[in-house]
Structure 1
Amino acid sequence: MASRLRVAVTGLALVVLAGGCGDQVAARDRLLPASVPSTPSGPMPTVPTDGVSARPRDGVPPGSMETAPPATLLATPMATGTPRTATGPPRFFVAAPPPSAHFPEGSKTAVHSPARAVVHDAGTGAVVADVPLPPGVRSSWHHVAATPDNRTFVVAGWTGRETPIRFFRVTLDGDGRPGEPVLLPGTEIDGGNPIGAVALSADGTRLAFTTMLRGGGGRIGVVDLATGRRREWWTNAYSLVTGLAWAPDGRGLAWVPGGQAIGVLDLTRQGTDLMAATTLVPLGNEGVRPMESVAYTPDGKSLVYAAGHTVERVPVAGGGEPEVLVRPEVPAGSSLSLRFSLDGTGRYLIFVGGAEAFRVDLTDGSTARVPLGRSGAGEPPRIAW
């Protein structure tokens, strides 16, 4: 099945990349002042993520990838602590925009304006507070993830040209006010390898991420947020991974390979071969439909995902046909598929379209527009609740 999927998505990958990961690349390019040349192309530097030297991989053609999977220091990538459960519908969401750039009249030099993540009221869209940046982080970046309690968030941050993307944690109080940001150890990601998706485990102890790799291929990584130790899985089969979600029990990760399927990574498996540790979830034969987001239902038995602009649900274990939950109306010019955030109750999801967010009730399909205000003034942010 994996080989058929690779054939089916060959022509699709670049289209989905333009609507999903492409916005990250465009945002990254805008960070470079016009007077500074772009980073030259060439081999990716060998930067072992766990302080262990990388080793050449067997069977990888020379030049296709400059680094091999580092030896892991995270023996237990599972996140089996007590989940931070939802207490009701979400009261807040966090919007993470990238830095913006503009050209003053008559100038060919871009002026770059750093951005901060913003806490919004989930019902009205009103700005509750800006999220402070930790030392060394110059701007918000384009990714944010949350635990089901609607209080714990991890935000991506840009640290400067030719420096890694970093992540920091913020915790909201009962009024939505963020506390001091905490820079997380072990979360450095090479800015030259676009991030496809991030996800925070339900117990708040692990951050999962996906990246494309220069020369082809992709990886999924899991970082222990207390120690910074990391575990990674690699594949040459797919470069593009557009969705990522933790199982409620912390023992698996759902991911979207190639923008056209859903796989479940078994975190209890040994080794670094991503496909060997992944089981593909049967989705029926609906043809080629671009996919971005995936999320578990709170009981862990089903997956909710967006195929095109349709939100569906399918049993994780198979044995059932996908069920259409809602087909929300989206603004003209929206990306080919929805990138959404599902709340901890499993009832509500939210996605961005233009300068607005759209809050969807999956029980009746009703959709409410939520203005983003200044969060939607530049490139649309990523949001989570």
Structure 2
Amino acid sequence: MSSRSSAALAGLALAVLAAGCADPAADRVSLVSAAQPPASPPLPSLTAVSPQPSPVVSSGPVRHPFPLATSLAEPMATGTPLAATGSPRFFLSARAPLAHFPGKSKTAVFTPVPPAVHNAETGSFIANIPLPPGVESSWHLVAAARDNRTFAIAGWTEPKNPDIRFFLVRLGEDGQPGKPVVVTQTDPDDLTLVYDLALSADGTRLAYSTPLIGGGAKISVLDVTTGRRRDWKTLTHSMVRGLSWAPDGRSLAYVLGGRAIALLDLARLGTDPEGAASRIIKNATGAMPFESLAHTPDGSALIYASGHTVERVPLAGGPTQVLARPELPPDASLSLRFSVDGTGEHLLYVHKWRAYRVALADGAVTSVPITVDERPGEGGSPRAAW
């Protein structure tokens, strides 16, 4: 087995163990720019790359890291947002391949698993999502557009040379998935570990975050039709999570190292590496980390979790508001990973094989068991989105 495959499989095994703890918008109508909050000093550690022709990659051995991609000259997603459809009827679950260590072997054997569609009210299984050619299993990332019908999913390629690929799927009104559409990148990117995934409100852009070889992390914005991409990097933080698109598609919120919430202005890229405008929205003040983020439907505020407490903070500044304090079991992760539906009224999180629904108006929590192929799930907790 090659060193690259060994490293990727080792990363997969760690991710599996840690997990234990369609058609894009057809009409693209420009939106009026949202009012920008007061300017703050840019983060020196996050840089954008000016548009340049994509580098030519030789057919020789792959070297790390690839140069940051610059071929997507317009990373904003300002097309017509997909319309919210009211209270969510479905959610999607995705998980990494199941890892087994037969006998006393130290080598894992992986069993591929498909992503699945579930009834949002009962958690019951509706259908497995077909995997596109070349994708053997789901990965543990799924992102939803606000219409509760369009989803982006991460998939895992064959074990001998494992990579992560992205594809889109659209659900019918009965929850049955259509044919998956692979997002084929035009710029080289070695995706063996992805932290997070987010789909823009108009369904035309996919944002994801990955670690950088040698330290640091990268945010990428990918055009789902052309495969062109633009990258930003931070060398002072090893992990970037909680990606969330603003409803107008002009900015992207994210979490730096679990300790700060920041906003990247996609409309102010500039022509030199320091041209991007990025500012801190909120710093963590206690021991509890940040993980997930979601914009409110009007784009004026962010919903986030500090530990297990769900809060709301205005982008223009001001006091935070506590929305819910769900009580998780003692063995739950210290941070809360969640998905907020397109109406901004319902929050979803998963612990083991139960889905928890939080009404953000009053903080009420209900839960349902998640079934797969009409049976209880196995392995670590899946990721879920609606």
TM-score by length of 1: 0.81
Matches within 5 A, 1:205-220: 205-220=204-219
| Cα distance, 1:29–1:52 mapped onto 2, change above 3 Å | farther
Q: Distance in 2 between matches of 1:273 and 1:120?
A: 44
2:266 touches 2:276 (CA, 8 Å); kept in 1? no
| Cα distance, 1:106–1:184 mapped onto 2, change above 3 Å | same
Structure 1: stretches of 5+ with no match in the other structure: 1-21, 31-48, 55-64
Moved more, 262-271 or 117-126: 262-271
- The CA deviation at 1:163 is 3.8
Matches within 5 A, 1:138-287: 138-160=136-158, 161-186=160-185, 189-192=189-192, 194-270=193-269, 276-282=276-282, 286-287=285-286
| SS of match in other structure, 2:87 | coil
Q: 1:13 — aligned with what?
A: none
Query: Which of 52, 55, 68 is the matching residue for 1:52?
Result: 55
Structure 2: stretches of 5+ with no match in the other structure: 1-9, 19-51, 58-63
- The CA deviation at 1:122 is 0.3
| Cα distance, 1:146–1:275 mapped onto 2, change above 3 Å | farther
Query: Which of 27, 52, 68 is the matching residue for 2:15?
Result: 27
Instruction: Work out whether 1:383 is the aligned partner of 2:384.
Output: yes
Runs of 4+ in 1 over 3 A off after TM superposition: 22-25, 27-30, 65-68, 103-111, 271-276
Query: Which of 322, 325, 346 is the matching residue for 2:323?
Result: 325
> How many correspondences in the alignment?
332
C-alpha RMSD over aligned residues: 2.5
| Cα distance, 1:336–1:275 mapped onto 2, change above 3 Å | farther
Q: 2:307 — aligned with what?
A: 308
1:165 touches 1:189 (CA, 8 Å); kept in 2? no
TM-score by length of 2: 0.80
Look up the equivalent residue of 2:289 and give its one-letter code.
P
Query: Which of 122, 125, 141 is the matching residue for 1:124?
Result: 122
| Cα distance, 1:25–1:292 mapped onto 2, change above 3 Å | farther
2:349 touches 2:357 (CA, 8 Å); kept in 1? yes
Query: Which of 351, 354, 357 is the matching residue for 1:353?
Result: 351
2:16 touches 2:99 (CA, 8 Å); kept in 1? no
Look up the equivalent residue of 1:266 and give its one-letter code.
D
Q: Deviations over 1:240-264 (max 9, x none)?
A: 1121000000000000011011100
Q: 1:292 — aligned with what?
A: 291
Q: Distance in 1 between matches of 2:244 and 2:53?
A: 23
Q: Distance in 2 between matches of 1:286 and 1:105?
A: 46
Higher RCO, Cα 8 Å, sep 6+ = 2
| SS of match in other structure, 1:27 | helix
Q: 2:73 — aligned with what?
A: 75
